[in-house]
Amino acid sequence: MPEPAVPPTPPVPLAALLAREDLALRQIAGPAGPGVVLHGAHTSEMADPYPYLLGGELLLTAGVHIPDAAGADPDAAGRAGPGPAEHLEAYVSRIVAAGGAALGFGLAPVHDTVPGALVAACEAHGLPLLEVPPRTTFSAVARAVWQLLERARTAELRRVTEAQQSLATAASRPDPVPSVLRQLARRVAGRAVLYGPEGTELAGAGAASAADAPLAELARLLLTRASATAGDTAPDGTHLAAYALGAGRGFVLGVAAPRRDPGDHTIASVAAVLLSLLTGEHQSGPGAARSSALVRLLLGAAPAEVAPLLGGERWLVVHARPDTQALAPLAASALGAALGSPLVDLGHDVVRVLVPAGRAPRPQPGWTLGVSAETAPADWPAADAQAARALARARATRTALVRHAAGSGLLGLLPEEEARAHARAVLAPVEASPAGAALLETLRTWLSLHGSWDRTAVALSVHRNTVRQRIARCAALLGTDLDDPDVRMELWFSLGQR
């Protein structure tokens, strides 16, 4: 029988439910103590509740399915069936196999007392058995369980939030790496260690223990794997976790804690991101190369000269916006890591990432991406504009990722300078107007979305009436009919040359 899966939610002690005086519950069998916890409540009168349990529940029953003392099978009159003891033995064993945390037996209207065979079966299988008095409804018990779970969930979220804030504060101190490790060790009530590329301990916080050696071994093992995290349990029962910092830099965060609460992984992950940022720029060769490239650019070097220091000859520009959460430095850095590039720029409403062309971006959960065509460093500004337009189209069409569609087509038949001169002449009336830039961008987006007012409004983050007014203004300035497909084709051609 496979081990049942327990939902990853903060559990509540069974003792907290028993402490509710308004319920008047009484435990009459099975183990007690802080180790018995609940993940939910479920009511069922099925003779075999196994298929309906997720694991960790308090199962509530009035015993409708229990056969009478004569041993008759209540599901088939006149046919011999198992006796009460055998039936209840199988019933309790199935609850335990499904991962049930406890059993609540309601008195009345079916049974006046809890059957002795049920008490014996629960005691034998180590399943806590609660007596639910007649005046207490199952719905009241279930509501109490969910209220306790909600309080536990809120407390855990508060703990994680406070830990995140304290870690961020620690990262801003003069000694950021030791400070982050100290905060992490305190928050998980254990030990936090930073390991170097050779698996040697560079810094640590928290009391040393017998788990130090297994933790170091787990960190060295992670360095040989492609995965970003690894977990294990030390011989003394200590929970171990290791987190790779950055891509291929060889730094690992190790965490050892006596217990593993639901929010501990989130807290440790935040610490790993902070330590990755703190160690990446100053400790790694690529970080030094990026600093050198920045200095050269500031001193007047051409982008083509510094591009080899950044890791490529051909590049992609990616524009990204989060689907729900607000823009934040940690989220932007995590996006850059997922795209395989540390070259990230966090703007007020968009994240821009410069990615070597060999690392084709893929859709990222929670983000909408626009990707430029491959380009040389000299054409980075043009690629930046391509990525912006691709992002606008992605948002308008609710697509996770849109790539700039590059292609010469008929443009290849015309000399480039002649094409640009024609485009400037066609668009001059609009470009010369006071709001020329906004009008041209609206016209470009509107044409790319086949004249859809709503999708253009979404792409530009303006009201649809604003789109209508701008397009009408363009038509007036150009003195042409924008419903004519020939006109649209020429305008699209001209906009492509800007």
Joined tokens for residue 333: 């850095």
Q: What pLDDT is stored for residue 39 in this prediction?
A: 92
Per the CATH hierarchy, to which homologous superfamily does domain 12-149 belong? HprK N-terminal domain-like (3.40.1390.20)
Rounded-to-integer distance, Cα 44 and Cα 106, Å: 12
Query: Mean pLDDT across the chain, nearest whole number?
Result: 84
Closest CA to 177 of 301, 283, 336: 283
Average pLDDT over residues 207-235: 86
Q: How far apart are CA 177 and CA 451, in angstroms?
A: 54
DSSP 137-169: -HHHHHHHHHHHHHHHHHHHHHHHHHHHHHHHH
Residue partners of 425: CB distance under 8 A and separation at least 6: none
* Ranges assigned E (strand) in 186-228: 191-195, 201-205
Matching CATH number, 314-406, of 3.30.70, 3.40.50, 2.60.40, 3.90.550: 3.30.70
- pLDDT tens figures, 153-197: 888 888 888 988 899 888 877 678 889 999 999 999 999 999 887
Contact (CB, 8 A) for 119 and 30: no
Which pLDDT score is estimated for 330? 62
Lookup: tokens for 397: 């069409």
> Which H or E element spans position 382?
helix 380-396
The amino acid that residue 444 corresponds to is R
For the cut 60, the answer to whether the pLDDT of residue 408 exceeds it is no
Tell me if residue 480 falls in helix, strand or coil.
coil
In sequence order, what are the residues at sequence separation of 6 or more whose Cβ sits closer than 8 angstroms to the Cβ of residue 225? Answer: none
Confidence of residue 138 (pLDDT cuts 50, 70, 90): very high
Confidence of residue 65 (pLDDT cuts 50, 70, 90): confident
What CATH number labels 413-495? 1.10.10.2840
What phi and psi values does residue 226 have, to the nearest 5 degrees? -90, -10
Q: Is 290 a residue whose pLDDT tops 90? A: no
Average pLDDT rounded to a whole number, residues 253-263: 88
Judged against a pLDDT cut of 50, whether residue 69 lies above it is answered with no
- The whole-model pTM stands at 0.49
d(CA 33, CA 101): 13
Give the pLDDT band (50/70/90) at residue 137.
very high
The CATH number for 172-276, chosen from 3.40.50.1110, 3.40.50.300, 3.30.450.30, 3.40.50.2300, is: 3.30.450.30
Peptide bond before 434: cis, by omega within 30 degrees of 0?
Answer: no
Q: How confident is the model at residue 485 (pLDDT cuts 50, 70, 90)?
A: confident
Give me the residue spans of the domains in the chain.
12-149, 172-276, 284-310, 314-406, 413-495
Looking at the DSSP bridge assignments, the partners of residue 38 are 12
pLDDT at 5: 39
From the CB of residue 451, how many other CB atoms can be counted at a distance below 10 Å? 13
The amino acid occupying position 398 is: R
Exposed / middle / buried, residue 475 (Cβ in 10 Å: 0-12, 13-18, 19+): middle
Q: Which one is predicted more confidently, 339 or 62?
A: 62
Q: What percentage of the chain reaches a pLDDT higher than 70?
A: 87
pLDDT digits (tens, 9 = 90+) for 101-133: 999 999 988 999 999 999 999 999 999 999 999
> How far apart are the C-alpha atoms of 341 and 333, rounded to whole Å?
9
Specify the pLDDT at position 413: 47
Q: What is the pLDDT of residue 50?
A: 93
> How far apart (Å, rounded) are the C-alpha atoms in residues 232 and 392?
45
Angle value at C-alpha 330, between 324 and 334, nearest 5 degrees: 85
Residue 73 has pLDDT above 50, yes or no: no
Strands 57-61 and 40-43: parallel
37 vs 122: CA distance, rounded Å: 16
Q: What are the φ/ψ torsions at residue 306 (nearest 5 degrees)? A: -95, -15
Bigger pLDDT: 370 vs 311: 370
Cis preceding linkage at 381, omega within 30 = no
pLDDT band at 287; cut points 50, 70, 90: low
The residues that bridge with 80 in the sheet, in sequence order, are: 72
